[in-house]
């Protein structure tokens, strides 16, 4: 059985890296709880520990107590990342070769493009539940729309989830597009109605705390997956939080991107001599926009910041509760984003119509409130992914780089450390299982499941970058080192063969204009 390929380097990690041995810290007195928090489309530099100006005190404190992983990578879009997270395998092996909404006729019948977390893998909650853990999930699932592919059918005891990829954060359930209706499920069953005061971030948090409390004291550890839909578009937040950021972004996306880059350098997260990827030609310079355009664009970023701020406060509620019941120190906590910030427009969603988009009230006074549909767009997305190239949906660093915070059980040996080692979402499941002392099974409930993948072969781009010296991918070295490009392309072809990847090109460039 394959051990984790690359695990977090920090004093309290209990496992071994590929090329270095770790000293085992004093073991916690009982098996640790695991709290896995995933934000949806959060940018790399949005939160305070990664250079952001948004108020994120809970995450700042988590960074001080644990470790920041500056070189953590995910996949370019939501459900593929989540399939890797919950399987520990390549997304094609888990059945999510691409987001189910983007499946084409060429993909039909190919197991790597089933569109749901397949049953050839043992899901993380299944393994932990069998190993004696309580398993809870609240938030976005996006790995199967019906009851038999719901999280309740994959090892989670208690669930309240949004089955598709997104939609309104309020009780009105207005979808991203007409072909993606919003469906909430409670333990596999459809939820007929939401409370009038429903707001996704708070409601998910409420349910998770309720379940932990109901089982408290029975001696079993818990695995809690808090899968927020914030700050995925449409951007929605309570009005008082939006007003908190009034005027904060009036200088525009170019200034914000530069300020965040400067803070990333000051924090030691990126090298001091790097150059950021330039603003996309399709994005206007801030001073070339009309006053009204700037006013509306600034408000959209204010709403985005309000969503992140509110999410941080809800995370703090969970931390406070765990401290209150004496479980915080014995809980492994991980926080990250499922992909880069989203620079696409609402017109990019499959099945979108003008009629649907025209049904919203996007007046300045209503932006971010009920029945509005706004997004951050490519200008702000580039600022959120500072200094990287592009954003969500692209396999550039801007699409696949995420902030990662980790606190291990017990007292950390080097609190506040920043680690620059490469780490991938695929390594999270084996790390959690190792921490819990649970082996990955060869069979689960009578079905054989896939073993862990072998060591990764590499990215196999047709462009070549030195990411250590050039993390913004500004200097393509492929012409200088054609032999290296050829070598990596051959590795990519082998990867496709091993994982059942189809050669299907999706033109995403026109979706960001």
Give the pLDDT band (50/70/90) at residue 108: confident
Query: What digits encode the pLDDT tens for the residues 502-511?
Result: 766 544 444 4
- Where b means 16+ CB within 10 Å and e means fewer, 169-205 reads bbeebbbbbeebebbbbebbeebeebeeebbbbbbbb
CATH no. for residue 362?
3.40.720.10
In a domain, 104, yes or no: yes
Tell me the whole-structure pTM to 2 decimals: 0.86
- Where b means 16+ CB within 10 Å and e means fewer, 219-239 reads eebbbbbbbbbbbbbbbbbbe
**Chain centre distance of CA 433:** 20
Contact 307, 341 (CB under 8 A): no
Distances (CA, A) of 167 to 102, 140, 205, 268, 279: 17, 11, 18, 36, 28
Least-confidence region, from 259-263, 438-442, 470-474: 470-474
Domain residues for 261?
Answer: 33-446
In a domain, 480, yes or no: no
- Is 78 annotated as catalytic? yes
With a cut of 70, say whether residue 261 has pLDDT above it.
Answer: yes
With a cut of 60, say whether residue 265 has pLDDT above it.
Answer: yes
* Mean pLDDT, rounded, of the chain: 90
With a cut of 70, say whether residue 92 has pLDDT above it.
Answer: yes
> Can you give the pLDDT at residue 29?
56
Residue 512 tokens, joined: 């960001």
Q: How many domains does the chain have?
A: 1
Per-residue pLDDT, averaged over 433-461, amounts to 76
Q: Which of 142, 131, 128 is closest to 223 using CA atoms? A: 128
Residue 13 tokens, joined: 């990690």
In a domain, 340, yes or no: yes
Residue 226 tokens, joined: 């808090």
In a domain, 263, yes or no: yes
With a cut of 80, say whether residue 6 has pLDDT above it.
Answer: no
How far apart CA 191 and CA 6 sit, in angstroms, is: 40
In a domain, 453, yes or no: no
Q: Which of 73, 78, 236, 440 is catalytic?
A: 78
> Can you give the pLDDT at residue 326?
96
Least-confidence region, from 132-136, 236-240, 500-504: 500-504
- pLDDT cut 70: percent of the chain above it: 90
With a cut of 90, say whether residue 497 has pLDDT above it.
Answer: no
With a cut of 70, say whether residue 345 has pLDDT above it.
Answer: yes
In a domain, 193, yes or no: yes
Per-residue pLDDT, averaged over 82-103, amounts to 92
In a domain, 339, yes or no: yes
- Is 142 annotated as catalytic? yes
Q: Which of 73, 92, 134, 142 is catalytic?
A: 142
Give the pLDDT band (50/70/90) at residue 11: very low
For 494, the 3-state DSSP assignment is helix
In a domain, 168, yes or no: yes
């Amino acid at each position: 059985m394959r051990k984790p390929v690359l695990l977090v380097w920090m004093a309290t990690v209990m496992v071994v890296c590929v090329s270095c041995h770790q000293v085992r810290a004093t073991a916690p007195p009982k098996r640790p709880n695991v709290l896995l928090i995933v934000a949806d489309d959060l940018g790399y530099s949005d939160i305070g520990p990664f250079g952001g100006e948004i108020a994120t005190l809970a995450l700042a404190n988590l960074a001080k107590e644990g470790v920041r992983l500056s070189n953590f990578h995910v996949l370019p879009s939501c459900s593929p990342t989540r399939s890797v997270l919950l399987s520990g395998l390549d997304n094609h092996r888990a059945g999510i070769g691409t987001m189910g909404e983007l499946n084409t006729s060429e993909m039909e019948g190919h197991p790597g493009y089933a569109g749901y977390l397949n049953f050839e893998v043992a899901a993380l909650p299944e393994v932990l539940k069998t190993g004696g853990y309580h398993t809870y999930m609240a938030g976005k699932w996006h790995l199967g729309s019906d009851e038999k592919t719901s999280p309740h059918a994959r090892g989670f005891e208690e669930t309240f989830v949004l089955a598709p990829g997104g939609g309104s954060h309020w009780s009105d359930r207005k979808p991203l597009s007409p072909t993606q209706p919003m469906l909430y499920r409670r333990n596999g069953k459809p939820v007929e109605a939401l409370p009038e005061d429903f707001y996704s971030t708070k409601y998910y948090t409420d349910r998770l705390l309720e379940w932990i409390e109901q089982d408290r004291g029975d001696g079993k550890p818990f695995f809690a997956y808090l899968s927020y839909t914030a700050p995925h578009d449409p951007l929605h937040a309570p009005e008082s939080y939006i007003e908190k950021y009034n005027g904060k972004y009036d200088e525009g996306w170019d200034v914000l991107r530069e300020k965040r880059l400067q803070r990333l350098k000051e924090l030691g997260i990126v090298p001091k001599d790097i150059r950021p990827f330039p603003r996309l030609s399709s994005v206007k310079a801030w001073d070339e926009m009309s006053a009204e355009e700037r006013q509306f664009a600034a408000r959209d970023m204010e709403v985005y910041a309000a969503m992140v701020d509110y999410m941080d406060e809800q995370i703090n509620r969970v931390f406070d509760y765990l401290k209150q019941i004496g479980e915080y120190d014995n809980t492994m906590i991980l926080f990250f984003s499922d992909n880069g910030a989203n620079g696409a427009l609402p017109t990019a969603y499959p099945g979108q119509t003008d009629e649907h988009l025209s049904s919203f009230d996007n007046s300045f006074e209503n932006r971010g409130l009920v029945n509005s549909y706004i997004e951050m767009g490519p200008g702000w997305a580039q600022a959120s992914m500072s200094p990287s190239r592009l954003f969500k949906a692209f396999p550039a660093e801007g699409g696949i780089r995420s902030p990662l915070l980790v606190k291990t059980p017990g007292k950390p040996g080097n609190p506040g450390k920043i680690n620059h080692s490469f780490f991938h979402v695929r390594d999270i499941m084996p790390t959690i299982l190792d921490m819990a002392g649970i082996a990955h099974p060869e069979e689960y409930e009578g079905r054989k499941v896939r073993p862990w993948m072998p060591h990764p072969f590499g990215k196999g781009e047709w462009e070549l970058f030195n990411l250590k010296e050039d993390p913004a991918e500004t200097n393509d070295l492929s012409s200088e080192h054609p032999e290296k490009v050829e070598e990596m392309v051959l590795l990519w072809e082998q990867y496709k063969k091993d994982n059942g990847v189809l050669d299907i090109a999706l033109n995403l460039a026109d979706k960001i204009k």
